[in-house]
Structure 1
Amino acid sequence: MLNAARRTRGEAIFDTCNMILMLVICFVTLYPIWYVLINALNEGTDAMRGGIYWWPRIFSLESFRAVFQSEGIMQAMWITVAKTLIGTVIHVFFTAMVAYALSRRGLIGGKLYIWLGTVTLFFSGGLIPTFLLMKDLNLLDNFLVYIIPAMFSFFDLIIFMTFFREIPEGLEEAARIDGANDWSIFLRVVLPVSMPVIATIALFHGVYQWNDYFTGMIYMNDTTLQPIQTYLYRVVAESSSNQMLAAVPGGINRSVTSQSIKLATMVVTTLPIVFVYPFLQKYFVKGMMIGSIKG
Structure 2
Amino acid sequence: MKATSSSVLTKSIITVLIVFLCISIILPFLHILALAFNDGQDATRGGVYIFPRVFSLDNFAEVFRQDELLNGLVISVFRTVTVTVLGVFLMSMAAYALTIKTLPGRGFITFFVFFTMLFSGGTVPYYLVLSELNLTHSIWVYIFPNLYSATNILLLRSSFVNLPTETIEAARIDGASEFRIFWNHVLPMSKPVLATVSLFTAVGQWNDWFSGSFYVRQRDLKPLATLLQEMLTRQTALSDLLQSQSGFTDYALLDQITITGQSLQMATIIVVILPIILMYPFIQKYFVQGITIGAIKG
| TM-score, normalising length: structure 2 | 0.88
Detail structure 1 runs of 4+ shifted over 6 Å in the superposition: none
Aligned partner of 1:55 in structure 2 is 51
- Whether contact under 8 Å (1:241, 1:259) holds in the other structure is no
* Cα offset, 1:110, TM superposition: 0.6
Q: What do the CA deviations read for 1:33-85 (whole angstroms, capped 9, x no partner)?
A: 11000011001000010001221111000001111121111110111111111
Render the CA deviation track for 1:241-283: whole Å, top value 9, x for unaligned. Answer: 99xxxxxxxxx99xx9521111100011111101111111111
In the alignment, does 2:279 pair up with 1:276? yes
Work out the CA distance in 2 between the residues paired with 1:16 and 1:93.
Answer: 44
CA distance in 2, matches of 1:240, 1:78: 26
> C-alpha deviations, 1:123-166, integer Å up to 9, x for none?
11110011011111110121111111111111111111111111
Query: How much does 1:240 deviate?
Result: 8.8
2:68 to 60, 72, 88: 72
Q: Using the alignment, how far apart are the partners of 1:35 and 1:83 within structure 2?
A: 29
Q: 1:79-158 residue pairs with structure 2 within 5 A?
A: 79-158=75-154
Whether contact under 8 Å (2:99, 2:161) holds in the other structure is: yes
CA distance in 2, matches of 1:11, 1:48: 49
The 1:42/1:16 distance shift into structure 2, 3 A limit, reads: same
Structure 2 Cα separation of the partners of residues 37 and 239 of structure 1: 19
Aligned equivalents of 1:231, 1:278: Cα separation in 2: 27
1:181 and 1:24 map into 2 onto residues whose CA distance is: 53
> Contact between 1:98 and 1:157, CA under 8 Å: does it hold in 2?
yes
1:210 is matched with 206
Q: Tell me which residue corresponds to 2:181.
A: 185
> Deviations 1:215-237 (Å, cap 9, x if unpaired)?
11111101111111100111222
Give unmatched runs, 5+ long, in structure 1.
Answer: 243-251
Secondary structure at the counterpart of residue 104 of structure 2: coil
The amino acid across from 2:261 in the alignment is S
- Percent pairwise identity: 39
- What TM-score do you get using the length of structure 1 for normalisation? 0.89
Equivalent residue, structure 2, for 1:246: none
Which residue is equivalent to 1:289?
A: 292
Q: Which of 10, 13, 19 is matched with 2:15 structurally?
A: 19
Counting matched residue pairs gives 281
Instruction: Confirm or deny: 8 A CA contact 1:73 1:228 kept in the other structure.
Output: yes
Q: CA deviation at 1:168?
A: 2.0
Q: Look up the equivalent residue of 2:195 and give its one-letter code.
A: A
1:166–1:64 Cα change, 3 Å: same
Correspondence for 1:258: 261
Indicate yes or no: 2:231 matched with 1:228. no
Aligned equivalent of 1:249? none
Asked whether 1:168 is paired with 2:164, we answer yes
Change (3 A) 1:238 1:60: closer
What is the DSSP-based 3-state SS (H/G/I as helix, E as strand, rest coil) of the residue aligned with 1:51?
coil
Structure 2 gaps, min length 5: 239-254
3-state DSSP class of the match of 1:84?
Answer: helix
